[in-house]
Each structure stands twice: as structure tokens, then as C-alpha cells.
Amino acid sequence: MSDEIAATPKWIALPYHRRWLLAQADALLSFHGRHGINPAGGFFVLDDRGDPIARPDAQIREIHATTRLVHCFAIARLMGRPGADAFIDHGMDYLWNDHRDAVNGGYFWSVGDDGPKDANKQAYGHAFVLLAAASARVVGHPDADRLLADVSEVIRTRFWESEHGAVAEEFDREWRPLSRYRGQNSNMHLTEACMAAFEATDDNIYLDMAESIATLIIREATASNGGRLPEHFDERWAIDRDYSGGDVFRPYGMTPGHWLEWTRLCLQLWELGCRKLDWLRDSAKTLFDHATVEGWNEEAGGFHYTVDWDGRPHLSNRLWWPCAEGIGAAAFLNAIDSAPRYEEWYRRIWDFVARELIDKEHGGWRTEAADPTGRAAPLFEGKPDLYHALQACLIPLLPTSGTVTRGLASGEL
């Protein structure tokens, strides 16, 4: 098939495909924007039809959900979407006045109508506060600078461990460490956020942090694990092969979707660093190859959520976000390398998404494809995410030299 693909134009060069991507982005924003704003503050969690989930416990606002919607509607604002400002204003207000701990500093993991529900301070959540602040700054939001300064100080003074060049994972409300656990996932998202903050501010400290994290997790830990990204570590950043903290955020084994996410982030960081660190480019290709060989379900399509240490499927759920990240990874590689296999994977993943995940009846993306065996329990309820799917639609349209917000702010779309 590669020879056939090599003889045809890349999809991203076709005007129809570019229009189709923009139409998908518009449909996602419409689905999540219709009933997204919670008048009590923050945003609703949406069911499969796009209505707020009725159960009160389902409407606890977790910080990554609040921040991702601020980021996504900043993207919408840069695209010229009317009404996007209301979402940004609403989310920024909730971050500052409800998620922020005005007494002890930092940001609560989750908040309800009557205050914090989980008052712990997670590096994962703070990474997304930084991303939201950077994106808000790009669109000129009046509260962006104070949020950016505040969360940057918290990350630097509370989370950052200079001896390792990465962040610790979690603290309680009064900044007592909760565990010796260290995770690549929070550091991966901080890498993304630091690159966005660097673009928004031109402050090299953010770029230095991103390169430091990538050096620890990709150049050292992943290379020592045969080119496969490990997820879980102890406080000395030694790989913890036995760790399992739950099937959603800290599952046992390795997560091919994160191999794909790091593929794009490594290439983006390589570009931001003026292509000086070639190990980033080489590592990206290795990660992509492992993800597509070991993570892809050859019979049914889609990526296995996790694999064990021998590369065999562990959690066979075929979720939306690894496919979204696979699209971004393939698009980046396709733009910088002429090998036909990257175009082939770009088309293959989009074909699966169009067939199994895009909900043509109700809108939005399903969180996972139906399990052909009937044995895998669903991991998510409703359609809680816009961030991964929206970026999958836009990343292929923009240069590889920066984030989505940088490309849009530069008028590249």
C-alpha cells in the first residue's frame, strides 16, 4: 500500500480534506459549546447526547476539564469563532476564584458548588493551568498574566525538583507530600504547557524546563527501556514496573497513546530548539514505530489502551485520545519526513476515527470504540473531552514549528 500512497497527493494537500478537518473542528466546538457552561461556575460534564449529566456527583469540576476548555475556546477565539470569549471568561473566573487555593497557594484538583471536593494539589492539574494561562495570554485575556505568574511560581517553588529536572507528583492542601510516586504523564503535559508558555512569553525558562523533562523521561528513561516509554517511577525516578494506581489515570504497564503524544511533543520541542537536539527527532520516530507495531489492534483497528512489559495488550479498550494523538504524531512526521508509512498511518487512523468514534447522530466523539469481545468495561462516561479531538483536527493544518495557538495566532490557517 505504501507504493500506492507515495504515488498520490498527501491528504493534507487536498483542499477537500482541509475543509473536512475544519468542519470536524467546528462540529466539536458546537457539540461542547451548546450546553457546556455551568451557570454555577465552571463547565458541565456532558452525556452522549451533549446534555449535562444529571447526577450531582458527575458535575464535580475537575481542574483538567476546566483548563482544557479554556485552552480549546482560546483556540476557537483565534479561529474567529463568535461566542468563544464567554467560555474563556467563565473558565478563567472559575480557575481564579474557585480552583485556586487563596490560603495555601496552588489549585485544587476538584471543586463542587460548595467548595473543594478534592483539595489535593496535582502536578497534572497544574500543568493544564499553565497551558490555559498561556493560551489565554495569546488571545489577550486581561486575567492571563496574573494566572500565568501565579501558577508558574507554584510549579517552580512547590513541584519542581531541580536535582531530577522534572516535577514531583502530588501534595495535600497544605503541601505535604502524598506519596513517593513520580509520573511521566504529568511531566509530559507540563512539557506541552511549557512550550506554550515559552511561545506566549519568550521566557527561556519554560523552554529549559521542557527540554529538561524530555531529557529525563525520553533520552534517559525511555532509551533505557528499549525505546518504549514507561509510565510510573519512584522518587528517585527509577522505573516502577509493578505500579498500578487505577485503570484511567495511572494504569498498570505502558500506554501507547502516550508514546504517540510524546512523538509530537519531541518533534515540536526539536523545532522550538532550532533543531539542535537531534535525539528528539530520532526518539520521536522510535516511539511512533513502537506504538503502531505494538499498540495497534490489527484485527479491529484502534490502539490498545495499555500493553504489558512484553508489549502484549493489557487493557484492550480502544479509546479516542490515543487515536487523536496518533493523528497529530503522524501529521508531524509526515511533514518532516517523506517516508510513505507516515501518510499511510495518518489515513488509517482517521479512517478508524470516522468509522468508530465520530458520532454522526448526536455529535462529538465517542470515548471508545465498541468492544468486539464484550469483555472490556468502559472507562469513561459521556463525552467529557474536547481537547484531544479538537487538536487532532487542527494540528495537521498548521506548521510543525509550534503549538496550535502559535500557528493560529500567526495566521497560518
- Would you call 388 a catalytic residue per the annotation? yes
- Rounded Cα–Cα distance for residues 346 and 46 (Å): 29
**Is the sign of the CA dihedral 194, 205, 273, 410 positive or negative?**
positive
What DSSP element (H or E) covers 116? Answer: strand 115-118
157: DSSP letter = I
Across-strand partners of 221? Answer: none
**Which residue among 90, 189, 290, 388 is the active-site one?**
388
Measured CA to CA in angstroms, residue 332 lies from 107, 194, 242 at distances of: 33, 19, 33
Taking alpha carbons only, the member of 336, 405, 393 closest to residue 74 is: 405
Could you tell me the strand order of the sheet in which 115-118 lies? 61-62, 110-112, 115-118
Q: Is 236 buried (19+), middle (13-18) or exposed (0-12) by CB count in 10 A?
A: exposed
Q: DSSP letter string over 233-293? A: E-TT--B-TT----SSSS-SSB-HHHHHHHHHHHHHHHHHTTT--HHHHHHHHHHHHHIII
Cell of 403: 503549538
Q: Which of 126, 141, 258, 290 is catalytic?
A: 258
Active site residue 90: no
Amino acid identity, residue 338? S
Burial of residue 1 (CB within 10 Å: 0-12, 13-18, 19+) is: exposed
Active site residues: 258, 388
